[in-house]
Amino acid sequence: MTQSYQKKHFSPSNADSNHAHVASRDQDHKPIMIGFVLLEHFSMVAFTGAVDALVTANLVQTENLFDYATLGLHGQSVVSDLGIEISTGSSIEEQLQGASQHFDVIIICGGYRCNLAENAKLTEYLKACYRQDAYLGGLWNGAIALAHAGLTSDTRIAVHPDNHPYVREHFQDTVVATETSILDGKIISCSGPVSALAMMLSLVEQLQGERIARAAKEILTCDQLSESTVTPLAKPADDARYPESLKKVLDLMRNNIEEPLTLEELLHYASVSRRQLERLFQNHLETSPSRYYLELRITYARRLLQQTNKPIIEVAIASGFVSSSHFSNCFKDYFGIAPSNFRKRSNQASQPNNTQH
């Protein structure tokens, strides 16, 4: 069985102004290009999880931010750990022979049965990508290829626990991270299929900003939420580390979507000052309380538009907006598309013959 993950053609996007590399790509009207190098017996679930984060980030923005392609070490197909043969768009050998395609990010996709020995061609290619200032990463044990290339000196990498002894024995200048996924400088890595999604969301945040990553995360972590007709808003995955006063405010916001509380009411119930609250949100969420509250309501409205047939005015009221015009303006400002057009596009995407993610 052969399944193709050929490069998809996406449209350009507006990059986060805080990231010069991304900004330069935006000026060229090109999406961020990510190459996945598939090793023989690579983890299919880790790979698809990583790709899913990129495709979902494209969907939440309405303008696509990422493009991707698959590469093999040689030839035009690679067999995954599931025994499924995956077609690749190119090979490392072809890239080194001059069929060069620019990648902003290269990720080595490893797996439980992948060969850990060095591949000379892959080492040569990774060094070339490093000289071009690309982000380099590894899924499962893919980061070992980066270590073979000498690119992880004094760097923390995440690999599968079974491979920790191998890394410690062969790469004494490389630090095995205790985290399951980590971004250290321009080296990003994870230790397994579950952490592959977290790794890619970290990369999305690094390249496109926290807002895009948060929106994608809310969609992709839906199985962590309770069952209901309309999916409730997700709690931040790391809220256990937040101060109690911040967690209380977040709970108040999530539980008061239809009739939003004023800032003064939030301050009163949480027993904090305005300055304290603003500092908490900036330090932990990199945004303001009012902006975060608006994001929750707009995201909730998006779910209603996707999952119900409520008229737009009812969606607006249920999301705490007093008028449909104000709601439409806020929705378009946040997602770049009017609510009516968003619902139309969502309905088209859900049609049986539609191949869109």
Q: How many CB atoms lie within 10 A of CB 9?
A: 8
Residues 82 and 63: beta-carbon distance below 8 Å: no
Q: How many CB atoms lie within 10 A of CB 251?
A: 14
Map residue 249 onto helix, strand or coil. Answer: helix
Q: Which residues of the chain have pLDDT under 50?
A: 1-27, 224-234, 237-238, 353-357
Q: What is the pLDDT of residue 300?
A: 87
Give kind and range of the element (H or E) at residue 157: strand 156-157
Residues 299 and 218: beta-carbon distance below 8 Å: yes
Q: What is the pLDDT of residue 15?
A: 37
Q: What is the pLDDT of residue 129?
A: 94
2-212: CATH number: 3.40.50.880
Q: What is the pLDDT of residues 17-57, one digit of tens each?
A: 334 444 444 445 589 999 999 999 999 999 999 999 999 99
* CA-closest candidate to residue 231, choices 306, 172, 303: 303
Q: What is the pLDDT of residue 100?
A: 67
Beta bridge partners, 70, equal 36
Q: What is the pLDDT of residue 351?
A: 57
Q: What is the pLDDT of residue 238?
A: 46
Angle subtended at Cα 141 by Cα 137 and Cα 144, rounded to the nearest 5 degrees: 70
Q: What is the pLDDT of residues 128-155, one digit of tens each?
A: 999 999 999 999 999 999 999 999 999 9
Q: What is the pLDDT of residue 3?
A: 41
What is the C-alpha to C-alpha distance for residues 286 and 302, in angstroms, rounded to an integer? 22
Instruction: Give yes or no on whether 2-212 and 226-349 have one common fold.
Output: no
Model confidence, pTM: 0.62
Single-letter amino acid code for the residue at 274: R
- CA-to-CA separations, 26 to 7, 58, 105, 170, in angstroms, rounded: 19, 14, 15, 40
Residues 10 and 67: beta-carbon distance below 8 Å: yes
* CA-closest candidate to residue 277, choices 238, 243, 234: 243
Q: Which CATH number fits domain 226-349: 1.10.132.20, 1.10.10.10, 3.20.20.80, 1.10.10.60?
A: 1.10.10.60
Q: Where are the domains of the chain?
A: 2-212, 226-349
The residues near 222 (Cβ < 8 Å, ≥ 6 apart) are: 231, 234
